[in-house]
């Protein structure tokens, strides 16, 4: 029998209309939506379903929306059909994993995600940053270009053997665009306004730490692997791991490689609105090991991981 892992994607995977059917389901409405609107002070469905607006591309709204949708997919679709052996989350997706593993209750988890989004939105307004994806077969060369540039640019996400996301000031990111292109890389600026997962987040992590210290955590009922340190979350380390996460790179590539080396018969389920992690896991493993589950229409696919 295969080992089953759940993977929760991060910001950038959001889509208009995502998870609306699950958020509108009687069970989710009764169990969570009253609390949701009280904590957020707005109806997230209005943001998620407003395809003529731009709110869902703002960190302030995108992160709570992703958390809600991922929580809904897991609680309404996945957990009814299987219990995973372990969970991982990419950036804000790690908060979904921590909640779904039973480490924190829904109200405090949503408040924490909201506070993280507020802190990052404030930073975006005061000190705008940028992130970009660097795609190519020679990531050692990409890291050399960064280190020799003399600019304040940092690796932010190690997504696969041929994809790196970098963070820095907007002007500095723009300055390196031509050099990466000349060196044979694809260079794609991302639609974010902060230099996440870098030392630019040091002050924000202190503020986030205060928020983390005000909520309650327990040990997980399902293992969660940190993609900051590649260690398992526990009640004693969860605050420090989530505080450090915002200022340190996401080791998605290294985390997936670690899991693949530990268990040979591995299957992943991507719990989110897109197939971003599904495609990355295929690039890392060279195999179709991940199934994206975004709603009830994909529920039957969960059985194939058995």
Contact of 289 with 282, CB cutoff 8 Å: yes
Q: How many CA atoms lie within 13 A of 147 on its CB side?
A: 6
Q: What are phi and psi of 101, to 5 degrees?
A: -85, 0
Contact of 242 with 94, CB cutoff 8 Å: yes
Residue 79 appears among annotated catalytic residues: no
DSSP letter (8 states) at residue 303: G
Residue 90 appears among annotated catalytic residues: no
Q: Nearest Cα to 251, choosing from 138, 133, 155?
A: 155
Q: What are phi and psi of 286, to 5 degrees?
A: 75, 10
CB-based burial, 223-233: b 16+ in 10 Å, e otherwise: bbbbbbbeeeb
Catalytic residue, candidates 91, 198, 205, 294: 91
Residue with tokens 């395809």: 51
Whole-angstrom CA distances from 210 to 116, 188, 199 are 11, 34, 18
Catalytic residue, candidates 13, 197, 198, 226: 197
Whole-angstrom CA distances from 73 to 102, 203, 227, 258 are 15, 33, 21, 26
C-beta neighbour count of 238 within 10 angstroms? 22
Catalytic residues: 91, 197
């Amino acid at each position: 029998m295969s080992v089953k892992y759940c993977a929760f994607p991060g910001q950038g995977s959001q889509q208009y209309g995502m998870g609306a059917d699950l958020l509108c389901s009687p069970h989710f409405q009764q169990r969570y939506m009253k609390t949701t609107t009280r904590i957020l002070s707005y109806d997230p469905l209005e943001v998620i379903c407003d395809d003529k607006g731009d709110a869902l591309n703002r960190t302030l709204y995108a992160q709570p929306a992703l958390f809600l949708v991922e929580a809904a997919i897991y609680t309404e679709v996945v957990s009814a059909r299987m219990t995973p052996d372990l969970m991982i989350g990419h950036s804000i997706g790690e908060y979904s994993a921590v909640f779904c593993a039973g480490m924190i209750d829904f109200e405090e988890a949503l408040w924490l995600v909201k506070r993280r989004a507020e802190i990052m939105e404030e930073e975006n307004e005061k000190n705008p940053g940028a992130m970009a994806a660097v795609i190519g077969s020679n990531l050692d060369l990409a890291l050399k270009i960064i280190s020799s540039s003399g600019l304040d640019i940092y690796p932010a996400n190690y997504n696969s053997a041929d994809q790196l996301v970098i963070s820095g000031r907007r002007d500095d990111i723009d300055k390196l665009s031509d050099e990466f292109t000349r060196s044979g890389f694809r260079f794609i600026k991302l639609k974010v306004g902060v230099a996440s997962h870098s030392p630019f987040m040091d002050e924000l992590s202190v503020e986030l730490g205060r928020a983390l210290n005000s909520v309650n955590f327990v040990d997980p009922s399902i293992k969660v692997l940190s993609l900051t340190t590649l260690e398992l979350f526990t009640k004693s380390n969860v605050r420090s791991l989530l505080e450090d996460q915002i200022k340190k790179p996401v080791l998605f590539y290294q985390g997936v490689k670690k899991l693949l080396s530990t268990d040979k018969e591995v299957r992943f389920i991507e719990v989110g609105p897109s197939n971003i992690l599904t495609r990355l896991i295929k690039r890392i493993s060279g195999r179709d090991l991940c199934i994206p589950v975004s709603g009830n229409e994909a529920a039957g696919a969960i059985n194939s991981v058995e």
